[in-house]
Structure 1
Amino acid sequence: MTYGLLKNLVNGEFVASDSGAEIDVYNPATAGEKVGSVPAMSRGEVARAFAAAAEGAKTWKKTNQLVRGRVLLDAAAIIRSRRDELAGLIVSEMGKTRTEAVGEVGKTAEFFEYYGGMGRDGYGDFLADARPGTFAARIVEPLGVVLLITPWNDPLLTPARKLGPALVSGNAVVIKPATVTPLITLRLAEILHEAGLPAGVLGTVTGRGAELGDALFEFEGLRAVSFTGSTAVGQGIQAKLAGRGIRVQTEMGGKNAAVVLDDADLDLAIPTIVAGAFAQAGQRCTATSRLIVQKGIAAEVRARIADAVQGLRVAAGAEEKVDLGPVVDQGAQSTIRRLVDAAVAQGATVIARRELEGAAATAGAFVEPTFLDITTAHDIWREEVFGPVLGMVEVDSLDEAITAVNDSAYGLSSAIFTRDLGNAFRFLEEADTGQVSINQPTTGWDIHHPFGGFKDSGSGFKEQGRDALGFYTRIKAAAIRTH
């Protein structure tokens, strides 16, 4: 299906670029099928979007919090009513399987329902004051204009994860989606506009980074930037904005590890690890990419995962009973294969690789699911592959396993499979990651769970749950003498 030109939302209107320039979007499961296009905005057009947001912020701050919540709840209802249409766009634009795309649409609705319900929450507290005739208050206010920069791998869910807390808190938002998957974000903007969001409260910006340059960060009234993407880009944004008093939230890379101890329930562990490593073609920041196995069960784990990998079906996401769709584009395809080849050249062994068949072998950006025997000396032990690749090492003990988990510049997510409660709680305490799972995958966090990594995986601000509100709000202390 072709979606044509989807326009940007600026000051309550949907507009093309002044020049008429467009950026085409292609289906990664094919040899170049065009899905749609978006405007290629100029620096001046970006500036207009921010100027509109500055005015929108004034309106939205004064809007009753119940009304803000109702807009998000109405948006959630529209999203649910258009599930199939939205899921189809995600499949076409990003390459997910139909099941994965439907799940993303459902989670998106849940984000807006969750934060929409917070329209009925308190937004401050009265405090005791020792002075005569005086009471104090803690008042929660929006920041103003915030910029959201979202990735291609969850092109509907990640915008919702950020938009929900930003909007219910009373901020105006300018959002820049990834250039390879912008269509679904513009559809989301249409839905929020339909749900009653006032002019200027949400603006969308599409364009090529090389042409826009620093235009996204030049607005003097910018108060916060929330970014999800690569560590290199995220750290670059942190450096660029240092000293300007602008809050920066970054959710960046991961090299997530799952540990399997010799007392683990393998009937639970094996399918959980396979799904964590290979679902969504491994294109999740929380995907399991390192497998650390105690030697006593290593041979069995190796054999069972190898069998599971050989049973995976790789095909276009729109087909039935597909385990993996394509990766996002041919550039990603080349990078993933290059990293696997480099690992093999360094001495890694391919335990199992599911060869591509049918149309997946001849067109599109498909990658073979690959299971490797590696060592901690191989580059692939530390490099984020962001594809369907799992590397396994063996260890003697829990001590060695925890050391291996923490042997990474990243600290996003980790998991352990064990029946021993003592080992589980020790791992929970000592794993240096923002998310820790016991007998669960490294992936799969719910909307009300705080989310965010340590070290090079993120900043100090969490996303999701109530913790997310702290990034988008500021606290004003007030003291009132009544007599």
Structure 2
Amino acid sequence: MTDPATDPGRTIDVLDPSDTRRVVARVPAMTGGEVLGLYDAAAQAAPGWGRTSPIERGAILARAAALLRERSAEITADLVSEMGKTLAEAGGEVAKAADFFDYYAGFARQPYGQLLADARPGTETSVRTEPLGVVALITPWNDPLITPARKSAPALAAGNAVILKPATDTPLVALHLARALADAGLPAGLFAVAVGRASQISDVLLDDERLAAVSFTGSTEVGRTIQRRVAGRNVRVQTEMGGKNATAILADADLALAIPTVAAAVFGQAGQRCTATSRVVVDRAVADEVIAGLVAYAGSLRVGPGSDPATTMGPLVSAQQQKEVLTHVERAKAEGATVAVGGYAPTEGGFEHGCYVAPTVLTDVRPDMAIWRDEVFGPVAAVRVVDGFDEAVAAVNDSVYGLAAGVFTTSLEHAHEFAARVNAGQVAVNLPTPGWDVHLPFGGFGDSGSPFKEQGAEALRFYTRVKTVAIRVGGGAR
């Protein structure tokens, strides 16, 4: 019999994107049979957890939040090593993940039902919320702790059992989350991590008859595949998918505020945020100054390993992601875009084995170009020049996606009109497109998402079902 510890097919090497020669860790590649075992344990544990007092559930989530904070240094180091974020970005992710558990722990003392008037004599009618049962969470590599926390905290608070499938590239911090929950007192079987290759375990993960809901964050292509996979079954689906977020800088904008804020939204986390600004729409009256400012900001960034405190932009997550981003840039150049800065992979000074892409600004971008329409998910800004407010709004809406959008203006009228007319689930005025707090409903329109929002009280709607109960208390009832 093959030893799983030495069989390459039974293990996954986690690589350091700053130097892919370095194996950060080796984790098991679970089989379909092992995932079935997770379902067995989850299905057995879920009913008892659903009957557990919300106050007790909340206390466990609060303890998990405290443990994440206590272990922040260790978790941050693994997050930097497996994903490439800077120390500041990774530390912020750990803190925000803890905030999710604290926030949903607080719901333990909130109402979870209501009384309704009933026209029938002697009848008392109530509406109750109940957990769904076993839910599967499929999360991406770009926010490998925040996204599992965003999904699992409300799922557990509502009384469900969770099976988490983290991205193959970044499984380590998901295991930290599982350990924190277990150490906080979460009963066995209620939070399991399915570490493995999607090609080997996705069928079992999505086809099990005990699956009540699946929440997915990732590409639109995969999200649509999941939607089709569970169609026709009584399985609830939430999908947070791709984005091509745009920010408009109007002629009356405060450029001292707009330029660095937009640039940070483009290049933060090496552009690997679902809410990162990818398209910059700028009024012709200020276009030259804005472009020069973006170029200068890109040039000021210090690209390097996330573990170096001096680094302000780390690598992309993998060689494959690096290749895809550079392909987008080359296609844009072939279609007539101009590279104002960047557009290449650094190969000297220790960068040759890393997954780096220099911060890039593309100008002369037209709406018919692929770079204007396709999600890039890297440190690339596509700049399009327009004339006036109406053209700016039209350009922002010129996308099948609708996750986040922003505008910079000193006009209160334009601010409100932009918010009303733009087709995006998140709208920022004089603010970056990323950065939405845990209590703010989050989700996109169009090809960016599904009707169910994440975060805030809205998230609990996805993880609960509603039961209406009418009880006649008179008329001979005993």
Q: Shorter-chain-normalised TM-score: which range? A: over 0.9
Deviation at 1:38, TM superposition (A): 1.6
- Residue in structure 2 matched with residue 229 of structure 1 by the alignment: 218
Q: Measure, in 1, the Cα distance between the counterparts of 2:98 and 2:348.
A: 35
SS, match of residue 19 in structure 2: coil
Q: Measure, in 1, the Cα distance between the counterparts of 2:105 and 2:347.
A: 45
Q: Aligned pair 1:391/2:346, yes or no? A: no
Work out whether residues 17 and 42 of structure 1, in 8 Å CA contact, stay in contact via their aligned partners in 2.
no
Q: Aligned pair 1:169/2:158, yes or no? A: yes
Deviations 1:365-409, CA, capped at 9 Å, x for gaps: 111110001111211000100000001011011111111111111
Within 5 Å, which residues of 2 pair with 1:10-409?
21-353=10-342, 356=346, 359-373=349-363, 374-409=365-400
Q: Measure, in 1, the Cα distance between the counterparts of 2:293 and 2:263.
A: 10
- Residue in structure 1 matched with residue 414 of structure 2 by the alignment: 423
- Residue in structure 2 matched with residue 450 of structure 1 by the alignment: 441
Work out whether residues 343 and 357 of structure 2, in 8 Å CA contact, stay in contact via their aligned partners in 1.
no
- Residue in structure 2 matched with residue 468 of structure 1 by the alignment: 459
SS, match of residue 363 in structure 1: coil
- Residue in structure 1 matched with residue 405 of structure 2 by the alignment: 414
Q: Measure, in 1, the Cα distance between the counterparts of 2:78 and 2:8.
A: 26
Deviation at 1:166, TM superposition (A): 0.1
Work out whether residues 342 and 360 of structure 2, in 8 Å CA contact, stay in contact via their aligned partners in 1.
yes
Work out whether residues 329 and 343 of structure 2, in 8 Å CA contact, stay in contact via their aligned partners in 1.
no
Work out whether residues 142 and 474 of structure 1, in 8 Å CA contact, stay in contact via their aligned partners in 2.
yes
Q: Measure, in 2, the Cα distance between the counterparts of 1:219 and 1:359.
A: 50
Deviation at 1:31, TM superposition (A): 3.2
Work out whether residues 18 and 41 of structure 1, in 8 Å CA contact, stay in contact via their aligned partners in 2.
no
Work out whether residues 238 and 451 of structure 2, in 8 Å CA contact, stay in contact via their aligned partners in 1.
yes
Cα separation, partners in 2 of 1:481 and 1:16, compared to 1, 3 Å: farther
1:249 partner letter: Q
Deviation at 1:127, TM superposition (A): 1.3
Deviates more, 1:34-43 or 1:444-453: 34-43
Deviation at 1:208, TM superposition (A): 1.2
Work out whether residues 309 and 354 of structure 1, in 8 Å CA contact, stay in contact via their aligned partners in 2.
no
SS, match of residue 403 in structure 1: helix
Deviation at 1:218, TM superposition (A): 1.8
Cα separation, partners in 2 of 1:455 and 1:169, compared to 1, 3 Å: same
Q: How many residues align?
A: 469
Cα separation, partners in 2 of 1:94 and 1:394, compared to 1, 3 Å: same
Deviation at 1:66, TM superposition (A): 0.5
1:397 partner letter: G
SS, match of residue 293 in structure 1: strand
Q: Measure, in 2, the Cα distance between the counterparts of 1:300 and 1:306.
A: 10
Over the matched positions of the two proteins, sequence identity in percent amounts to 52
SS, match of residue 383 in structure 2: strand
Structure 1 vs Structure 2 CA RMSD: 1.6
Cα separation, partners in 2 of 1:422 and 1:250, compared to 1, 3 Å: same
1:254 partner letter: G
SS, match of residue 187 in structure 1: helix
Deviates more, 1:206-215 or 1:459-468: 206-215
Q: Measure, in 2, the Cα distance between the counterparts of 1:371 and 1:360.
A: 24
Deviates more, 1:447-456 or 1:215-224: 215-224
Deviations 1:293-317, CA, capped at 9 Å, x for gaps: 0111111111111111111110000
SS, match of residue 468 in structure 1: helix
Q: Measure, in 2, the Cα distance between the counterparts of 1:221 and 1:429.
A: 42
1:458 partner letter: G
Cα separation, partners in 2 of 1:31 and 1:359, compared to 1, 3 Å: farther
2:203 partner letter: D
Q: Measure, in 2, the Cα distance between the counterparts of 1:153 and 1:146.
A: 22
Work out whether residues 42 and 207 of structure 1, in 8 Å CA contact, stay in contact via their aligned partners in 2.
yes
Deviates more, 1:355-364 or 1:268-277: 355-364
Deviation at 1:360, TM superposition (A): 5.0
Deviation at 1:321, TM superposition (A): 2.3
1:366 partner letter: Y
Q: Measure, in 2, the Cα distance between the counterparts of 1:252 and 1:17.
A: 36
Deviation at 1:199, TM superposition (A): 1.2
1:349 partner letter: T
Deviation at 1:18, TM superposition (A): 12
Work out whether residues 386 and 392 of structure 2, in 8 Å CA contact, stay in contact via their aligned partners in 1.
yes
Q: Measure, in 1, the Cα distance between the counterparts of 2:136 and 2:16.
A: 27
Deviation at 1:21, TM superposition (A): 2.1
Q: Which runs of 5+ in 1 are unaligned?
A: 1-14
Cα separation, partners in 2 of 1:51 and 1:294, compared to 1, 3 Å: same
Deviation at 1:20, TM superposition (A): 9.1
Deviations 1:193-219, CA, capped at 9 Å, x for gaps: 110111111111011122224111121
